[in-house]
A and B are shown apart, each in its own frame.
Chain A
Amino acid sequence: MAPSRENSVKQSETESCKTSSKKAINSKTELILQSRKHANEIFDVLEFLQSDKQKEVLFAIAACQKIFCALLERGDLYVGQLPKEEEIVEGDRDADEKYHIFVRHRYNDCVELLLENTSHEVFQVKEAALCTLMKFAAAEGKHPLQKQEWSEHFNFPIELVLAVVRCLLSETEDMALLISRFQEFLEMDDVRYYVMSSIRDNIAKIMDKNKQAVLPVYQTNVFTLLTNITMPSKSSDITNFLIQQETNQEDWKAAKLKEHRRAFEQMWLTFLKYKLPGGMYKKVLVILHDTIMPHMSDPTLMIDFLTAAYDVGGAVSLLALNGLFVLIHKHNLDYPDFYKKLYNLLDPSVFHVKYKARFFHLANIFLSSSHLPVYLVAAFVKRLSRLALTAPPTALLIVLPFVYNLIRRHPSCRVLIHRPSAADELCNDPYLMDEEDPTKCHALESSLWELQTLQKHYNPDVSKAAKAINEPLSRQEQDISELLELNNFELMERDLKSQVQSVPLEFDPASGLLQSTREVLGVHFSLE
């Protein structure tokens, strides 16, 4: 009983401590807001911001928000070029101005402390700090701290946003959670615009500073932030602003879709200009074609990046295909030896990678043209079926219809499965698997014995599909789109779900675990 009581005592102590600090902060806030006499209390509040206790920090952040938002509204902050703190005494200013300058300095201190707090270890603190900063930004926008002159940014607090972005794109810490919190603000068009431009500056600065080396954490943060930016698709969508401008709304860059697009493009290009860590390549390529390229003012600028990625090989190449496809399809990109490269992309790993569905979807599109030369199609068909000898059933169920569709589209490829002219002559397979050039691989002289092999595949569906070559193919192409996402478990469920009336049983009676009539396991393994 004793310890629990002690605990409760402790708890009550801490609670009282909390309440006391809360009370102190609250009373101080009220005092500050009541009259200028208590302006020095701000120091105390700011001190709390550096406290070790999470609660105190949180209260302090809330208090700061309250104080400075109120002060900003009152116009108690100094406007214009801020003189140094030491200069206050020297200059001949009236008390009012001095007070304003003082408050402005405290405000700057507060902002700095808050920025520090965004890398606090507790997420709530980070979040609160970030929100407060954005509140300040909104307040500043309403009551600008610069002279109300003409400037291209109007009265958007660009420095503040830049500072926030700098914090978000930490070089040492994964800020994914905070960035996802920040997404809420990115929905506002002006914030987004200025964040995009600040990201660009930030990347350039940081990467140059690090001599273009790979910074995984930093780049991950940048990527997370970049992917959180959702671009408007129409200029009429740009209506949501953090800071409403009274005049010349139309002239503001942040209100123009074109400017947005340019900023977006610049940002991505800057990001992709530098060397990326391994996994990042794939991540970028996965989203490239549908979230990045449509929002760029000039997607052709991606050509360099994509061709480089396409030459990397393996899964990266597969992924680059999608972007390339968009460029070829919509932007008239002429890519020499495209099909040759595509042909060489086909290796056994194609059937095992995660992106096989996407690959086959694209390959289907690329090979849908009826103007392709027969030798090329035959080469693809033969190579795919050769590779099918190592593929799992889920891939086979895509490949087999895929191959059949190719043969259907190009009836002259039918010799691959039907060559009555040389029906009785025995021959070696003339196809050269290692030949990189589809023109020289002799695919057209071969036959698809691989599919004949697959007729003995253990999976009944695959076996059935492979048996289609025994008869002339039907004219109708098979739709492979629903097969693309098929996974192993779904395939399993087909058999598990089907209602069977009779279950055949093994008739050899089982006498032990490793004693069946065709024992293989028992030969190599023992029961111990």
Chain B
Amino acid sequence: MGKPPKKRSLADKVRKTKTSTQIKNNPFEVKINRKKFDVLGQKSKHDVGLPGVSRSKAINKRKNTLLKEFRLKNKANKFVDRRFGEYDTKMAPEDKILKRFTMERQRSQTKKDLYNLNEEEELTHYGQSLAEMEKMTDMVDSDSDSEEKGLLSAELTAAHFGGGGLLRMKTGEDGDYEEKPRSRQEIIEELILKSKQEKRERQTQKEESQELTEKLDQEWRSVQSLLAHKTPKSERKDEPDKPKMDDYDVMVRELGFEMKARPSEKLKTPEEVAREERERLQKLEADRLRRMLGEESTSKKPSHMSADDLNDGFILDTDDRKTLSYQDGQWNVDGGEEEEGEKNEEDEDDGGEEENEEGDGGDDDDDADDDEDAEDEDDHSDLDSEQGSGAEDEEGDEDKEEEAAPAKAALSEEERRAVQQAAKEELPYTFKAPESFSDLKELLLGHSVEQQRLIVERIQKCNHPSLAVGNKAKLEKLFGFLLEYVGKLATQSPPELSTINTLIPQVYSLCQLFPASACKVMQTLLSDGGHSMEEAVEVKGRAAFPGLDMLIYLKIAALLFPTSDFRHPVTTPAFLYISQALTKCPVSSLESVSAGLVLCCLAVEFVSLSKRFIPELINFLLGLLHLAVPADTCKDYCVVSPFRQQGKASKLLLLCDTESSSSWSRKPIPLTSVHRVTASTDLQRDHHRLSVLDACLDLVKRCATLYRDLPSYDQIFQPIRTLLTNHLPVQSYPPALQELQREILEAIPETPSQHSPLVFDKKKPIALKMLQPKIVEVLDYGKKRGNTKEEKERERLKHKYKKEFKGALRELRKDTRFLAQAKLSDIMSRDAERKRKVKELYGSLATQEGEWKALKRKKRK
């Protein structure tokens, strides 16, 4: 048992003397691992093994780690060498020494600090203090200091170097003769005191001189300005604190500032502003078109804040405000935040000063604003009309309107000012946001129309979300209350529609502020209306036409939300509501005719951009026209619900007297006729009927142009055509109506148009199969199990774990074997030692015995 380690150690000895190439070339050291297959391109690491080398490596490693640990086992104390870098094999011995030396020095340095006068280690450069040198960069650049520096006071030298005996003698002679000779410590303390005092004096002197120089500089500057005529600006400015800079520095700074400031300060010409506005609108329009086609949006909704709105300028977002604050080349400081009217008031209050200061004056500025606003509005409407008809020339119109705008704006400005002056005396400027509908009602009731608008506006302003935390919720509620108020105004008799009309901009601006909550409120209104109508339909099979409030809600919905969207959380239900009303509400009176007509108008308005098809609208218009047909039964067209081919209400729009058409003139029907038709005499009723028919025919005409592109255009309009040509008593109608009828008939062709048969959309051809190799990620060579990535990963980990486990086991076994060998060798060596000692003892005893015997023999002899 004792042999193999010995042998190995011998082999190790041999090996250590050889280089690695020698070992590798030795065929007895090399073990070649035979490969079963040759895989092209595979790199194999383990084709040649060096078992001897690796074994000795392993043994060495164990000796260094395991064996040491084993030796220290069950031992409480151990010797740790804490010398720097003792166990760091990477460090060169010279480095170690150097480091140890420096560390020692440092340690000794701390002790020295006790006697360091400056209390800190001064860094020097060529014997001069760096701190001093830094100070030299300062103003003081006189060289008197440096002279002082080099001087050695006699006392100092005396103290430091002991001085010459001569010197000491001299002092002794001069004075302090009676004084006892001081102890060394006293002398040293005195020395320290003195040097400190000296240092302080030097410092104060330096400060004084610096002050003096600065003063001198100032004076020089004042004199200099007298001497050389510089700009008055520099004369006035009393900023001598900063040192005068180099021309170069000035230039650099100026350039730097210029670069930053220029782009924002660049003035926009009116054309540029207009173009930007147009671009913004075009972007919005493109966005609208996209939604109309029902495409999913990926980009974020752009904010629809508009620059040109006078009234709701204050609701604009802060960033938006900034971009709009340059108008007409002027920086309009309070442009977005303050309402137009208040700004004017302010201007009046402190007008003079401002004018003096700014030169240009505030009023001009405002006027310019107005110009801009008016122009923007016009521009905007212009654009829309252009989109609608696509015929007008934009540029020319714009110019014309630019001229017209200022006058108009000035007029409106004056009016408004007058109104505000009147209102100012009564109305407070701040309002609490109403907590409930009744609060709002209390606030608004009893005020004039314009005052009500002002109140709402001020509520909105006082509770702007940026002012306080809870304001957002308050204003969100305000929107709901406002709509409720609008509904209440509409249901009153007589309805206060003009009030509603003035409140609309407020409603709009609130909606722009809080789209989500506005949407929710509108949805609730629609859902309530729809629900009640559906219930009525379910119970009675029919329902009454919605009241004026509901009609106005629908109109407001169209004002606030885009009706052209493919799907919109508010307008889609609104469409359905209109459809429901147009199909389920029977027309039994002139009031219901009016209500139906309002709904039809709304429907046409809703689809005027998107040109979507509303079957109910056509049905309803046909039904309305049918009400004016004198003949009882018309076989060649048929009306559908809610109209009946014949019935008690089927002649509702038939004129009582054909003569009344001569006195009829076209004028709009009052919205209140939805609730009550005021006409009392037959003539008035006939006029009302004619107005209704006029509106009806106009709507038909609009529809005919809207739906021109539909493939089933003829089928849709055929019933109306037959009714208009064969049955409607047009001859008895005023010429305006006859004209309309003729136009409609022209619009609807008699012969049906032709279409190509339907085919499916062409599909994209399916791409041919590619013959490229399929690339699969190989995570690990060897056996591959599992199909999915997760499974493969699991298998791989399992395999790795197994491998590691086996390896660990092997290592442990080797460790124990190594330890056993170590123990054995320990025992062996101990035994050998003992044997040797015993032998030695025996030997010594034997020699002793021998000697003793020899002595005995000698004695005997």
Contact = CB atoms under 8 A, between A and B. Distances in A.
A518 B527 contact: no
Interface in B661-688: 667-672
A96 interface: no
Q: Which residue, B505, B560, B567, has most C-beta atoms of chain A within 10 A?
A: B567
A419 B758 contact: yes
Given A454-B613, A496-B527, A470 B760 contact: yes
A247 interface: no
B499 to A, nearest CB: 10
Contact of A392 (B388, B572, B616, B670): B616
A456 to B, nearest CB: 5
B699 A507 contact: no
Interface stretch (A42-50, A153-161, A508-516): A508-516
Given A460-B572, A521-B598, A527-B671, A427 B504 contact: no
A463 interface: yes
B534 A526 contact: no
Contact of B291 (A458, A470, A504, A528): A504
A452 interface: yes
30 contacts: A347-B638, A349-B641, A390-B615, A392-B615, A393-B579, A422-B757, A424-B756, A428-B752, A429-B752, A489-B580, A493-B527, A502-B515, A503-B516, A504-B515, A504-B562, A504-B568, A505-B515, A506-B559, A507-B281, A507-B284, A511-B505, A512-B505, A513-B559, A516-B558, A517-B381, A518-B388, A523-B601, A524-B669, A524-B699, A528-B671
A462 B817 CA distance: 84
Contacts of B699: 520, 524
B384 interface: yes
B759 interface: yes
A252 B698 CA distance: 76
User: Nearest 5 pairs between A and B by C-beta?
Assistant: A352-B641, A489-B534, A426-B754, A524-B695, A526-B668
A519 interface: yes
B504 A506 contact: no
B613 A453 contact: yes
Contacts of A352: 583, 640-641
B711 A452 contact: yes
A503 B755 contact: no
Contacts of A500: 519, 569
A330 B196 CA distance: 127
Interface string B496-523: 0110111011011001100110110001
B794 interface: no
A311 B203 CA distance: 126
Contact of A498 (B497, B569, B576, B597): B569
A496 B711 contact: no
A519 B755 CA distance: 33
A152 to B, nearest CB: 47
Interface stretch (A85-93, A99-107, A443-451): A443-451
Nearest to A417: B758
Given A417-B760, A518-B609, A429 B755 contact: yes
A520 B601 contact: yes
Instruction: Tell me the dominant secondary structure on chain B's binding face.
Output: helix
Given A458-B606, A520-B699, 15 more contacts: A419-B759, A458-B610, A459-B575, A492-B527, A492-B577, A502-B300, A504-B515, A504-B568, A506-B562, A517-B381, A524-B669, A525-B601, A525-B669, A526-B671, A527-B670
Interface string A3-23: 000000000000000000000
B526 interface: yes
B256 interface: no
Contact of B601 (A469, A503, A521): A521
Interface of A: 347-349, 351-354, 386, 388-393, 416-420, 422-429, 433, 447-450, 452-454, 456-460, 463, 469-472, 487-489, 491-493, 495-496, 498, 500, 502-514, 516-528
Contacts of B584: 488
A390 B619 contact: yes
Contacts of B504: 510-513
Contact of B565 (A348, A504, A526): A504
B437 interface: no
Nearest to A348: B640
B497 A516 contact: no
A523 B500 CA distance: 18
Nearest to B753: A428
B267 interface: no
Contacts of A510: 504-505, 507-508, 559-560
Contacts of B713: 453
B759 A528 contact: no
Contact of B523 (A450, A496, A517): A496
B700 interface: no
Chain B interface size range: 35 or more
Given A392-B583, A496-B526, A423 B760 contact: no
Interface in B530-555: 530-531, 533-534, 538, 541, 552, 555
Contact of A386 (B306, B505, B527, B715): B715
Contacts of A512: 501-502, 504-505
B757 A447 contact: yes
Interface string B845-861: 00000000000000000
Nearest to A511: B505
Contact of B607 (A419, A453, A458, A503): A458
A507 B507 CA distance: 14
B612 interface: yes
A43 to B, nearest CB: 50
B630 interface: no
Contacts of B575: 458-459
A416 B760 CA distance: 11
Interface in B606-661: 606-616, 618-619, 638, 640-641
B301 interface: yes
B611 A456 contact: yes
B640 A419 contact: no
A518 B500 CA distance: 19
A467 B430 CA distance: 55
B566 to A, nearest CB: 5
B668 A492 contact: no
Contacts of B818: none
Nearest to A524: B695
A460 B569 CA distance: 11
B537 to A, nearest CB: 8
A197 B667 CA distance: 69
B602 interface: yes
B828 interface: no
Contact of A488 (B380, B381, B576): B576
Contacts of B531: 489
B757 A509 contact: no
B716 A495 contact: no
B328 interface: no
B384 A495 contact: no
Nearest to A385: B712
A526 B502 CA distance: 14
A27 to B, nearest CB: 51
A425 B756 contact: yes
A427 B530 contact: no
Nearest to B641: A352
B754 A521 contact: no
B309 interface: yes
A427 B757 contact: yes
Contacts of A353: 641
A412 B555 CA distance: 48
Contact of B612 (A390, A457, A492, A509): A457
A489 B670 contact: no
B560 A505 contact: yes
B573 interface: yes
A390 B562 contact: no
Nearest to B534: A489
Nearest to A450: B712
B759 A418 contact: yes
B340 interface: no
Q: Which residue, B515, B533, B559, has most C-beta atoms of chain A within 10 A?
A: B559
